A and B are shown apart, each in its own frame.
Chain A
Amino acid sequence: MNMSNALCVEKVHVWRGDRHVLQGVSTQIGHGELLHVSGPNGTGKTTLLRVVTGLLRPEQGSVTWLGRSIVEHRADYQAALAYAAHEPALKGDLTALENLRFSVGLKRRSKPQELRGALERTGVAACADLPARVLSAGQRRRVSLARVIAMQAPLWLLDEPYANLDAAGSELVSGLLQDHVAAGGLALVVAHRELALGCNVRRLELNS
């Protein structure tokens, strides 16, 4: 097993109706590496991300994690990943802390202080006990990033993590990504903007 390629995407084809969205995409991510997926709208960036999460099964091709198919070893793979979709995926009627407690709690046992610590790290500690529906779009994004941190998973899969964030928020995301990758983690980031990161970045440009 080649540890430099912990996550391998091989010749993935996806059709959406008549549209051939992903045409044989291959890529890999190693430990301590970040894959930046970019490209114009509608070229299948999010589709690729959903294939990598395992939510979407490709018509052809495979995704492997540590040399094993993510379909056959679904539970192990899911335990190792933290996914943040384009929408923050928070329940409006639960507080930020409860949202974290219920979704992180399914992955690992965590103490409330740890979760509060994650919220503090993303700058929304003051919103911990507010219902998520009263938070602004940027604050909700920060809460969803806190969830990614709190899951303590080696593989981060982030869809447009910079969306809705102010300048300080963007710096925060870059800082989090750098720390995660520096600690040997892996990240797949879908983003339109250029990433100015001081870490190992591999680029994948999708074209129509």
Chain B
Amino acid sequence: MTVGAWEAFWLIVRREMRLSFRRPEQLLQPLVFFLIVTTLFPLGLSLQLSLLRDIAPGVLWVAALLSALLSLDFLFKSDADDGTLEQLALSGHGLTVIVAAKTLAHWLVTGLALVLVSPIVGTALGIPVDAFATMLVSLALGTLTLSWLGAIGAGLTIGLRRGNVLLSLIVLPLAMPLLIFGAGATDRAVSGTNAAGALYLLAALCVFTCTLAPFAAAAALRITLE
């Protein structure tokens, strides 16, 4: 009658998804932020499409990172506030499984949503359609990596009153490589050169955080639960 780790993992993913869809404002907030920030740039700069196209990858990536960061604060905080995190921690499944499930669910409802609206933003910023595939793949890898990095930061800061400020300070420096390789890959795709190298590096970072961050985040949560 006991419940296996995989079963528990998917049960938590389903729980998180259901909770997210019951609170649509939490889902929409990062998306709206992403759309607004990226439309502010063309408004604030000159309307030359060539200039816009040059800065588009950077704008797109900075906006994506910041809006993904906005949503990270919710990752463990509401569960910690209402006591359900303790129930999860005592469920008989390791915190690693719980953290992994919650982070994956978080990415599915925030990161993946960003990736899906990015073609609209890309079009607005003048990114050619040929570069969309690279842009989508790089953003998918980048936001997933950021969710894992964010899980460590969120685990460390749930106990703090102004935790979200500290969370940005912890996560943003770690996200620098993502920005460099992600914007780099998109930039190369826009200019029509081979972006494979940067994408491979992003994929490597993604695998690295997917495999190690759940353990680090679980350790962080264990400390804050005490």
**In the docked arrangement, what's the CA distance between A81 and B92, Å?**
9
Q: How many angstroms from the CA of A94 to the CA of B226 in the assembled complex?
A: 26
Q: Which residues of B contact A85 (CB under 8 A)?
A: 83, 86
B162 within 8 Å of A by Cβ?
no
Q: Assess whether A79 is in contact with B82, with CB atoms less than 8 Å apart.
A: no
A-B contact pairs, 21 of them (CB 8 A): A54-B90, A55-B89, A55-B225, A55-B226, A75-B92, A78-B90, A78-B91, A83-B87, A88-B83, A89-B82, A89-B87, A91-B84, A93-B23, A94-B22, A102-B14, A103-B84, A103-B87, A106-B88, A107-B3, A107-B92, A108-B2
A179 close to B (CB within 8 Å): no
Report if A98 contacts B (CB, 8 A). yes
Contact pattern, A 47-75, Cβ under 8 Å of B = 1, otherwise 0: 00000011111000000000000000001
User: Across the interface, do A94 and B90 meet the contact criterion of CB distance under 8 Å?
Assistant: no
Give how many A residues have a beta carbon under 8 Å from the other chain's beta carbons: 27
Cα–Cα, bound, A85→B225 (Å): 13
Q: Contacts A89-B84, A102-B15, A108-B1; is A53 near B94 (CB within 8 Å)?
A: no
Which residue in chain A gives the minimum CB-CB distance to B1? Answer: A108
- Residues B92 and A105 in contact, CB atoms below 8 Å apart: no
Residues of A with C-beta under 8 A to B15:
94, 102
**Chain A residues packing against B (C-beta within 8 Å):** 53-57, 75, 78-79, 81, 83, 85, 87-94, 98, 102-103, 105-109
| Min CB–CB distance B223 → chain A (angstroms) | 10
**Could you tell me the distance between the alpha carbons of A203 and B82 in the complex, rounded to whole angstroms?**
30
Whether A57 contacts B226 in the complex (CB less than 8 A), given A79-B2, A79-B92, A103-B87, comes out as yes
Flag if A91 contacts B1 (CB, 8 Å): no
A89 to B226, Cβ gap below 8 A?
no
Residues on the B chain within 8 Å of A89, using CB: 82-84, 86-87
Q: Give bound CA distance, A102 to B88, whole Å.
A: 10
B36 within 8 A of A: no
In the bound complex, how far is the Cα of B93 from the Cα of A108, in angstroms?
A: 12
Given contacts A79-B92, A106-B11, A108-B2, contact A98 B86 (CB under 8 A): no
